[in-house]
């Protein structure tokens, strides 16, 4: 599948113009999340403006220096049509006319102008020039050209010389990058502080920092966009003894609805005005009053591992590239986004990444490619790359990594935005991704990813005109000599099979007679052909010797048949004895004498003489076939190399192995009478998995070869399909004599020798491209080529992943009828690891590096190892080769795991294209027509890829959930208080000292009681140790040096000790202590309670000691703690009841205002004491209060009302009915 989305051209002036214009300015006011921008811009009609047209002549323009010029589409006021105009930027004025040769040019003054993209997705690359007097809507041909125009117009505003810069100038100047958008909630301008216009708050938003502005106010916005380098931070930089530190970069207002202050944990932000602040880096939100209390050093937030802090980019090298300080960056992330991918969804992801990371580490592949980003990161020892796009985008980045030699430094991950996304599927990142709001989670998963190696393969081509392969049809009378040689071979094999398998004496005699005539004619033909070819006497003697041996073997066979004809017919029950000799028959000719001697010994044993004769006949038949083979090889050697050295030995038989095949499989009618004939074939892989069920014995002395993956190809010999024999015959008919085998004795996909001694040699070849996923030739490549052509002609029809897949289906269905490459086996020749592979009738060949093809199909048909093939993998330097018979097979493979189309697993592939016409070829979805010649696929290198580790993510998530439940709510809130390094005030120090003293007294009393009560020590040991450790951190000699960090830890641990001690003493199963110890512990516990209540008066400690009680603990935590009731905190109102009984022994009816106020303190609602005292509410009135009464008293919060009513209800239960 193609990796990237379609090429989006701007609409023309004709039919598609209106649609294109609508795409530029139409809006959907839906929001992706709270406070987020909508997915497109909204149409906004310009009000009536008094426009004074200014013009200049071409002569006047010529005197000014040109900054940039070119053609753009301009939107006219009539029906918003687009018309082509020629623009020239001279100084701070933009001129335009119908063409470059016009005499009169309209001019636009850019003194107070701003530039903004037209929409969020911006499918047609349009932008708006906004001046105080007019708005000019323009449209560029592609995104790169649009970015160039915007950069040049911005350089005019800053009075900086415009250059085609290595980086966008606005990223380093602090200038905002505007785009038009609408909002789902009230939004305010950061310049004039007024609300944006319209129901949907239409206006401009900076794509990096989300600074909001009216279109009229954009020109007055300060250049305070998100920092990129140390120089852009300016005077806000923090310097200490350790060097420079990263400060917060605050942006005012427009906070999301759910915003909470990190200091006081109260709601912040407003929909009524511009108020409160948000950090652009760590996303922390604070009130204006709390901002100074927050820790000034920015922790960079959730994505801190991936961010390059601006303080790290502090210098430039000689080439003008920024140089990073490595100490600030552990494993930085370089992001490449293809803005065209996914129906221009890439634009949204590009903006979102700039908001999450440093804008200097995010690059658009459509605007300059990957070179600039890689140059920026090449000095890092280790960094990560995230490519957001399709397979084509990934290949582009990997190729650039090769050029810069960065393979050892970087690991690459993929975010699938394209159509096929096969590589992303294999690496675990899924087949598609559309939700840009989940990018922080994606970055978190990327940080936890593991690394695997991806094999990459060079597609080497050598264009060469080659004659067409021979036809399948029988040759005419004037056919070549080689054709007749094939006929003789076939005839000899056929008649030998009949002689061995037939039980009828007449058939044997007839076949022997025909065989005799065929061999004689064959010898005569060889001698005749040889005499025409050579005049070398030495070689002539060798051929004559081979022919005489052939005649001798024929005579021996006839003699054996004559002897056998005088004996009784062989009984069917003896046939297994013949089959058991397969291992002997598989030996080579050199061991034939030993076999004969062994057989002679067997004859002397007490066995039937009738079983010995067929063995002798079979040996004679083998010898005859071997002699025919040697004659063919000798003649072929002469025809292939007329300059044979005279001293070269004539007998080359020791160079070959003998291999068994089952030649009678198709011709024998009786399955029980099948026989194996030893036929000499070319050297093949000794891998036993390709043996077709028979063993192989190599008796030729030479180096032993281990049966392993190194000895590929592994050939699938079980492929039986219609037309297979015809395909093999076609391959044999067109090859040279030395490559011919007996047709009836070869495996369906068996391999014959290929004369290419150096498989890795690519001299004279040129690298066409690099393959990462798969290679295809024939049917699938033609479909990809037609799709690419259609996408270039009609980009508007191929702008989404769904449409692209539908087009693939339509084109595949068309090929089902047309069958354009139904005879591809006649036009190409396949060789795997130097072995020639005869092909059946097919329409395409696919070479796979990954187990995902054409949008997620496992075309290999499985992921596990079997008896024949190894498990497919993208890191084993092995390719899988499969056959494509038709488009129906490709469609069915998406549902069913087919395996009958497997051809081989190998390390190198060579495909030869014959004829005068080229054949469609595709690599990773990019297709072209390859001219006749040779294609070689050889291993290039390996790339480090980031793969998603779901097992690790699941384990880590379980651990985090356990930590959250075990640690409790207060610890969960500690991450909000990074600012506690601030020293305490004097009053706060004194309160913390009193609380610490009370806690130490409690610990002492518990230790004293534990000497007698061992259970007390067991239950409270953990809490006591934690509290003691926290108290020891405070320096008693310098109490004024106590910081909020230490104070928070002390308060949390003292509160935990108090809760557990109270639960143990007054819980459901109270621990009975001796009276003096119980009284001492109770008094110490009461002192701690009083001091903790005083600590709650400190604002920043209140929410730590009293977390939001409306929240309920997770179900998992509740269930987990059900076993140990002793350690659970006493229910809230039960505690209140106990404490009330301690503090007041009077009945509720007799309570005064002071007792009611104390009761409110127990409910942690002391802020309402003044209201109750002012209205003179006593115990009797308290018991009769209702919800409306509390609202009349001025208690606004629903949660507080519920708590008071619940407390009153508890008081009513504990009060006797007679008193009420």
pLDDT, tens digit (0-9, with 9 covering 90-100), for 374-410: 988 888 888 999 999 988 899 999 999 999 999 888 9
* 429/947 Cα distance (integer angstroms): 7
Q: Name the helix (H) or strand (E) containing 636.
A: helix 612-640
Highest mean pLDDT among 334-348, 475-489, 994-1008: 994-1008
**Per-residue confidence (pLDDT) for residue 654, from 0 to 100:** 34
pLDDT value at residue 381: 82
Best CATH choice for the domain 17-225 from the list 2.30.29.30, 2.40.340.10, 3.40.190.10, 1.20.1090.10: 2.30.29.30
The predicted structure's pLDDT at residue 161: 52
**pLDDT of 1126 above 70:** no
Note the pLDDT of residue 47: 45
- Round to whole Å and give the CA distance between 840 and 476: 24
Q: Is 950 left (phi over 0), alpha (psi -120 to 50) or beta?
A: alpha
DSSP H or E stretch at residue 213: strand 212-213
The answer on pLDDT for 1015 being more than 60 is: yes
The DSSP annotation for 13-37 comes to SSTTHHHHHHHHH-----BSSTT-B
Tell me whether domains 17-225 and 452-469+684-699+707-779+820-948 share a fold: no
Q: Which of 628-637, 741-750, 974-983, 1022-1031 has the lowest mean pLDDT?
A: 741-750
DSSP letters, 79-103, are TT-EEEEEEEEETTEEEEESSTT-S
Give yes or no for residue 286 having a pLDDT over 90.
Answer: yes
526: pLDDT confidence band, cut at 50, 70 and 90? low
Instruction: Report residue 708's pLDDT band, with 50, 70 and 90 as the boundaries.
Output: very low
Give CA torsion, residues 1068, 1072, 1078, 1082, to 10 deg.
Answer: 0
Tell me the average pLDDT across 1143-1169: 79
588 or 1156, higher pLDDT: 1156
Range from 148-157, 927-936, 1143-1152 that averages highest in pLDDT: 927-936
**pLDDT bracket for residue 721 (50, 70, 90):** very low
Q: Is the pLDDT of residue 571 over 50?
A: no
DSSP β-ladder status, 835-837 and 277-279:
unpaired
Mean pLDDT, rounded, for 310-333: 73
Question: Domain residue spans in the chain?
Answer: 17-225, 302-448, 452-469+684-699+707-779+820-948, 481-677, 969-1127, 1132-1214
**Is the confidence at residue 898, as pLDDT, over 80?**
no
Is residue 680 over pLDDT 50? Answer: no
Whole-number pLDDT of residue 879: 93
816 pLDDT more than 70: no
**Judging by beta carbons within 10 Å of its beta carbon (0-12, 13-18, 19+), is residue 379 exposed, middle or buried?**
middle
Half-sphere exposure of 345 (CA within 13 A, CB side): 22
Residues 6 or more apart whose CB falls under 8 angstroms from that of 990 comprise none
Q: Kindly state the tokens that stand for 746.
A: 């070869």
The answer to whether 336 and 365 are in contact (CB under 8 A) is yes
- Angstrom distance (rounded) from CA 538 to CA 207: 85
Residue 453: count of CB within 10 angstroms of its CB: 15
Maximum mean pLDDT: which of 56-65, 487-496, 816-825, 1093-1102: 1093-1102
Q: What is the DSSP string of 612-627?
A: HHHHHHHHHHHHHHHH
As to burial, measured by CB atoms within 10 angstroms (0-12 exposed, 13-18 middle, 19+ buried), residue 616 is: buried
**The pLDDT of residue 1215 is above 60:** yes
d(CA 647, CA 537): 12
Per-residue pLDDT at 1199: 80
The per-residue pLDDT for 1038 is 58
Residue 1016 has pLDDT above 80, yes or no: no
Residue 943, pLDDT score? 92
Nearest to 602, CA basis, from 619, 588, 589, 586: 619
- 832 confidence band (pLDDT: 50, 70, 90): very high
User: CA 1139, 1142, 1147 angle in degrees (round to 5)?
Assistant: 100
Is the pLDDT confidence value at 549 over 50?
Answer: yes
* pLDDT beyond 80 at 1182: yes
pLDDT bracket for residue 1211 (50, 70, 90): confident
CATH hierarchy code of domain 302-448: 3.40.50
Decide if 388 contacts 337 (C-beta within 8 A): yes
First-residue to last-residue Cα distance in the chain: 81
pLDDT at residue number 719: 34
Superfamily of domain 1132-1214 in CATH is Transcription Factor, Ets-1 (1.10.150.50)
Please check the confidence at residue 191 and state whether its pLDDT lies above 90. Answer: yes
Looking at residue 564, its pLDDT comes to: 62
Domain 481-677: CATH class, spelled out:
mainly alpha
How is residue 1180 written in tokens? 């009797």
Q: What average pLDDT does this structure show over 512-520?
A: 72
Does residue 516 sit in helix, strand or coil?
A: helix
Q: What mean pLDDT do residues 614-641 have?
A: 61
Question: For residues 612 and 116, which has the higher predicted lDDT (pLDDT)?
Answer: 116
- Mean pLDDT (the chain) is 71
pLDDT at 252 over 90: yes
Select the highest-mean-pLDDT range: 13-22, 74-83, 184-193: 184-193
CATH number, domain 452-469+684-699+707-779+820-948, options 1.10.760.10, 2.160.10.10, 3.40.50.1970, 2.60.200.40? 2.60.200.40
- Percent of the chain clearing pLDDT 70 (strictly above): 60
């Amino acid at each position: 599948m193609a990796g990237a989305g379609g090429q989006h051209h701007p609409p023309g002036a004709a039919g598609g113009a209106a649609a294109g214009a609508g795409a530029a300015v139409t809006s959907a006011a839906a929001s992706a999340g709270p406070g987020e921008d909508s997915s497109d811009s909204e149409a906004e009609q310009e009000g009536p403006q008094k426009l004074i047209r200014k013009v200049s002549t071409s002569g006047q323009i010529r005197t000014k220096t040109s900054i940039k010029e070119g053609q753009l589409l301009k939107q006219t006021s009539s029906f918003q049509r687009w018309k082509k105009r020629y623009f020239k930027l001279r100084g701070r004025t933009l001129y335009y006319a119908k063409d470059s040769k016009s005499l009169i040019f309209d001019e636009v003054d850019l003194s107070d102008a701003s530039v903004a993209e037209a929409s969020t997705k911006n499918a047609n690359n349009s932008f708006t020039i906004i001046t105080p007097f007019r708005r000019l809507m323009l449209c560029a041909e592609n995104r790169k050209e649009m970015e160039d125009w915007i950069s040049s117009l911005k350089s005019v505003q800053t009075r900086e010389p415009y250059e085609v810069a290595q980086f966008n100038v606005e990223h380093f100047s602090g200038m905002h990058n505007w785009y038009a958008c609408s909002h789902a909630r009230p939004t305010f301008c950061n310049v004039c502080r007024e609300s944006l216009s319209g129901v949907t708050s239409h206006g401009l938003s900076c794509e990096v920092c989300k600074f909001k502005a009216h279109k009229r106010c954009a020109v007055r916005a300060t250049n305070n966009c998100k920092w990129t380098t140390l120089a852009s931070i300016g005077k806000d930089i923090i310097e200490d003894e350790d060097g420079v530190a990263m400060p917060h970069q605050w942006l005012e207002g427009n906070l999301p609805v759910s915003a909470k202050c990190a200091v006081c944990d109260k709601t912040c932000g407003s929909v009524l005005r511009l108020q409160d602040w948000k950090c652009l880096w760590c996303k922390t939100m604070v009130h204006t009053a709390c901002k100074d209390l927050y820790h000034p050093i920015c922790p960079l937030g959730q994505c801190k591992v991936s961010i390059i802090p601006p303080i790290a980019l502090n210098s430039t090298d000689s080439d003008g590239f920024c140089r990073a300080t490595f100490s600030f960056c552990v494993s930085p992330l370089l992001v490449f986004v293809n803005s065209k991918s996914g129906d221009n969804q890439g634009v949204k992801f590009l903006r979102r990444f700039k908001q999450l990371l440093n804008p200097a580490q995010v690059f658009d592949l459509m605007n300059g490619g990957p070179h600039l980003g890689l140059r920026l990161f090449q000095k890092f020892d280790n960094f990560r790359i995230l490519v957001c796009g399709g397979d084509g985008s990934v290949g582009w980045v990997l190729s650039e990594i090769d050029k810069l030699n960065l393979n050892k430094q970087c690991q690459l991950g993929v975010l699938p935005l394209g159509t096929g996304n096969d590589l992303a599927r294999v690496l675990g990142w899924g087949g598609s991704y559309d939700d840009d709001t989940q990018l922080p989670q994606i970055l978190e998963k990327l940080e936890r990813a593991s690394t695997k190696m991806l094999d990459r393969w060079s597609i080497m081509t050598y264009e060469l005109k080659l004659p067409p392969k021979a036809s399948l049809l029988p040759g005419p009378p004037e056919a070549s000599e080689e054709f007749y040689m094939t006929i003789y071979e076939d005839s000899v094999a056929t008649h030998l099979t009949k002689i061995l398998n037939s039980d009828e004496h007449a058939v044997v005699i007839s076949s022997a007679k025909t065989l005799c005539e065929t061999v004689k004619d064959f010898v005569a033909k060889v001698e005749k052909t040889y005499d025409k070819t050579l005049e070398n006497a030495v070689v002539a003697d060798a051929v004559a010797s081979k022919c005489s041996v052939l005649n001798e073997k024929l005579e021996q066979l006839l003699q054996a048949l004559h002897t056998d004809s005088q004996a009784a017919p062989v009984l069917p029950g003896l046939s297994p004895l013949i089959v058991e000799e397969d291992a002997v028959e598989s030996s080579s000719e050199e061991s034939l004498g030993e076999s004969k001697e062994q057989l002679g010994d067997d004859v002397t044993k007490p066995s039937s003489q009738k079983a010995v004769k067929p063995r002798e006949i079979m040996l004679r038949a083998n010898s005859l076939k071997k002699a025919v083979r040697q004659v063919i090889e000798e003649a072929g050697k002469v025809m292939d190399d007329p300059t044979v050295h005279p001293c070269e030995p004539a007998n080359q038989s020791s160079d070959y192995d003998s291999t068994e095949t089952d030649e009678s499989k198709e011709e024998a009618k009786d399955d029980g009478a099948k026989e194996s004939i030893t036929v000499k074939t070319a050297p093949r892989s000794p891998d036993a998995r390709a043996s077709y069920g028979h063993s192989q014995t190599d008796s030729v002395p030479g180096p032993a070869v281990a049966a392993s993956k190194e000895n590929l190809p592994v050939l699938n010999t079980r492929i039986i399909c219609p037309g297979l024999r015809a395909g093999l015959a076609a391959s044999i008919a067109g090859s040279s004599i030395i490559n011919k085998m007996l047709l009836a004795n070869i495996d369906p996909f068996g391999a014959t020798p290929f004369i290419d001694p150096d498989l890795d040699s690519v001299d004279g070849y040129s690298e066409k491209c690099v393959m990462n996923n798969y290679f295809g030739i024939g049917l699938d490549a033609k479909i990809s080529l037609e799709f690419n052509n259609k996408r270039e002609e009609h980009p508007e029809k191929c702008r989404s992943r769904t449409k692209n897949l539908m087009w693939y289906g339509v084109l595949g269905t068309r090929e089902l009828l047309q069958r354009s490459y139904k005879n591809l086996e006649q036009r190409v020749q396949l060789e795997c690891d130097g072995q020639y592979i005869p092909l059946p009738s097919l329409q395409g060949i696919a070479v796979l590096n990954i187990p995902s093809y054409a949008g997620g199909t496992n075309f290999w048909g499985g992921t596990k190892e079997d008896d024949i093939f190894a498990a497919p993998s993208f890191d084993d330097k092995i390719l899988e080769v499969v056959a494509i018979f038709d488009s129906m097979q490709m469609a069915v493979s998406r549902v069913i795991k087919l395996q009958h189309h497997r051809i081989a697993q190998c390390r190198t592939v060579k495909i030869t294209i014959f004829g005068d016409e080229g054949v469609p070829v595709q690599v990773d979805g990019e297709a072209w027509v390859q001219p006749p010649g040779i294609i070689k696929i050889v291993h290039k290198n390996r790339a480090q890829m980031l793969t998603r580790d779901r097992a690790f993510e699941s384990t880590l998530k379980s651990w985090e959930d356990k930590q959250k439940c075990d640690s409790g709510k207060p610890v969960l809130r500690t991450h909000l208080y990074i600012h506690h390094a601030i020293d305490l005030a004097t009053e706060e120090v004194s309160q913390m000292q009193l609380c610490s003293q009370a806690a130490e007294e409690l610990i002492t009393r518990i230790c004293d009681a534990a000497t007698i009560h061992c259970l007390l020590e067991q239950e409270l040991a953990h809490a006591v140790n934690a509290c003691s450790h926290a108290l020891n951190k405070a320096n008693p000699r310098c109490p004024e040096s106590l910081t909020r960090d230490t104070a928070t830890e002390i308060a949390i641990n003292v509160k935990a000790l108090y809760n557990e001690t109270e639960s143990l003493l007054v819980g459901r199963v109270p621990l009975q202590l001796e009276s003096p110890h119980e009284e001492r512990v109770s008094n110490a516990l009461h002192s701690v309670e009083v001091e903790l209540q005083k600590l709650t008066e400190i604002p920043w400690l209140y929410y730590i000691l009293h977390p939001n009680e409306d929240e309920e603990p997770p179900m998992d935590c509740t269930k987990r703690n059900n076993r140990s009731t002793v350690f659970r905190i006493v229910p809230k109102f039960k505690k209140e009841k106990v404490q009330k009984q301690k503090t007041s022994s009077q009945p509720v009816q007799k309570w005064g205002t002071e007792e009611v106020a104390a009761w409110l303190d127990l409910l942690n609602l002391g802020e309402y004491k003044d209201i109750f005292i002012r209205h003179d509410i006593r115990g009797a009135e308290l018991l009769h209060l209702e919800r409306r009464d509390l609202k009349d008293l001025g208690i606004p919060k629903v949660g507080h009302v519920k708590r008071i009513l619940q407390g009153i209800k508890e008081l009513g239960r504990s009060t006797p009915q007679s008193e009420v």
